[in-house]
Amino acid sequence: MRKAMGLLLVAATVGCGQQVVGSVATATRSASVDVTAQAAREIVVMVDPAAAAQASRTVKAMGAAVTRTFRLKSEVQVVRIPDGVDRDLFLARLRQQPGVKSAVLQRVYRAIPVVQEAELAREVGALISINDPSFSKQWAYGRTGTPANWEGIDASGTLVAVADTGVDAAHPDLGGRVRSGQNFAGGTGTGDKVGHGTHCAGIIGATGNNSQGIAGIVWNAPILAIKVLGDNGSGTTEGVAQGMKSAADAGAKVLNMSLGSDTTEIDPVMHDALEYCLAKGTIVICAAGNNGRFVGSPANDPLAIAVSSTSDGMFGGEKISGFSSRGKQVWVSAPGGGIMSTLPTTGSQMGTTYGKASGTSMACPFVAGTATMMRAAHPDWSVAQVRDALKASTDDLGTPGFDELYGHGRVNLAKASR
């Protein structure tokens, strides 16, 4: 059997055995910057806006400097700690200053290949008349069903954002619908040399019934590409948070976040960014992780929609993927094992034009596409209403009722489209 390689975004451990969240390198950084080394001496501080100036003066008096700032609900300051200054003592002192809400180490996120699943020969069969040549390889639709009146779904006015390694805007199956957002990962542009972001975008919105490639869930939705992970698959908390803000400010109704960190701690910066998104009406869908155990940040935040992954077994049917993270934070599950989707047409680390990958990174956009379909049909719905509708449109797999593997169940597209 051939093997399909998927990607999981995990936080690197930087210094003192602590998980350091990587903020995506900001747009002002050089593409050649080693974000891992840089993050080891950076702190992300959230302060009350009214106390921002005083906080900057305090940092300077402590022998450090505020190198970059941006605004969420709080003011966020990125502080560079000089070499020779004890990082832990600096953190402890900074956290005691008036107006400082939190001070945490900058974490580094990486996209690395960690999942190998046997590729099954099972195909969808004639569920519906779709002329895309690889539609039969999209096993997920055989389990979740397909939307009623699929071709009639009009999501042209519902913007969905993909915060990832970028998206190939020239891919023919994305129909010229990719909008170039901002780059918070260093360098310029939102092209995708890794392939991860383009793969996620195709699951959400590859054009269906166009006689090429695959069928995504919403065929005419505009896709906003926001680059928060660089061409080496790395990014930082700072950049991811800024990417979330830019998606909300652009009017995205849904934000796909197929990224995460291998830590159980809720990140205060991510929480503030999630609050910002929700206040703007943007629902945020996050991959639960691929460690086979706990849900990492930002999916572990109660404001996020955490998605676990299912796989189609050769024997025993669909079940939780062995690699999938699980826990009480999981809201819903979706197909994530051996998923066929788009890849950059000029080549990438994951392949060229089309290919299969496995991970909660693939399950996440399945839910994001479902949420986009819902928001297109019900533009007046609040984030809370979409969240509840996702819960109600599931098939209950595993233990009856809520469980830590599937959450409230695996999404069912046929139900969700009613």
Residue-wise pLDDT tens digits, 367-411? 999 999 999 999 999 999 999 999 999 999 999 999 999 999 999
The verdict on whether 408 is a catalytic residue reads no
How much is the pLDDT for 245?
98
Torsion of CA 36, 41, 46, 47, to 10 degrees: -160
2 to each of 118, 288, 357, how far by Cα in Å?
6, 26, 12
Distance CA 44, CA 406 (A): 33
Q: What is the mean pLDDT of residues 1-5?
A: 35
The answer to whether the bond into 172 is cis (omega within 30° of 0) is no
Helix/strand/coil for 241: helix
* Active-site hit among 23, 74, 164, 312: 164
Residue 84, pLDDT score: 87
Distance from C-alpha of 289 to C-alpha of 308, rounded to nearest angstrom: 7
Separation between Cα atoms, residue 269 and residue 274, nearest integer Å = 9
Domain boundaries of the chain, sorted by first residue: 12-110, 111-416
At residue 304, the 3 state secondary structure works out as coil
State the average pLDDT over residues 71-93: 93
The span from the CA of 178 to the CA of 161, in Å, is 10
Q: Distance between CA 7 and CA 21 in Å, rounded?
A: 18
d(CA 330, CA 328): 6
361 is an active site residue:
yes
Compute how many other C-beta atoms are within 10 angstroms of the C-beta atom of residue 285.
30
Give the whole-number percent of the chain exceeding pLDDT 70.
86
Give percent helix, percent strand, percent coil of the chain, each to the nearest 5. 25, 25, 50
pLDDT (mean) for 9-38: 38
Mean pLDDT of 169-191: 94
Q: Average pLDDT in the 101-122 region?
A: 69
Given a cut of 50, whether residue 63 has pLDDT beyond it is yes
The average pLDDT across 164-174 equals 97
Tell me, what's the pLDDT at 202? 98
The CA-CA-CA angle for residues 301, 206, 418, to 5°, reads 70
pLDDT (average), residues 112-123: 52
Q: Give the separation between CA 162 and CA 303, rounded to whole angstroms.
A: 18
The number of beta carbons lying within 10 Å of the beta carbon of residue 71 is 13
| Overall residue count recorded for the chain in this entry | 418
Instruction: Name every residue whose Cβ is closer than 8 Å to that of residue 395 and which is 6 or more positions away in sequence.
Output: 144, 409, 410, 412, 415
Q: Does position 418 have pLDDT exceeding 80, yes or no?
A: yes
Tokens of 347: 């080549």
Name the pairing type of β-strands 283-287 and 305-312: parallel
Mean pLDDT, residues 203-223 taken together: 97
Q: How far is CA 120 from CA 175, 196, 275, 340, 355, in A?
A: 29, 21, 41, 12, 14
Of 154 and 2, more confident: 154
- The catalytic position among 361, 393, 403, 417 is 361
Q: What are phi and psi of 226, to 5 degrees?
A: -120, 120
Q: Which of 56, 74, 173, 196 is flagged as catalytic?
A: 196
Q: Residue 161: helix, strand or coil by DSSP?
A: strand
The answer to whether 244 and 284 have CB atoms below 8 angstroms apart is yes
- H helices of 123-205, in order, are 140-144, 196-205
Same fold, 12-110 and 111-416: no
CATH topology (fold) of 12-110: Alpha-Beta Plaits (3.30.70)
* CATH T-level assignment (fold) for domain 111-416: Rossmann fold (3.40.50)
- Using alpha carbons only, what angle is made at residue 254 by residues 366 and 20, rounded to the nearest 5 degrees? 85
164 catalytic, yes or no? yes
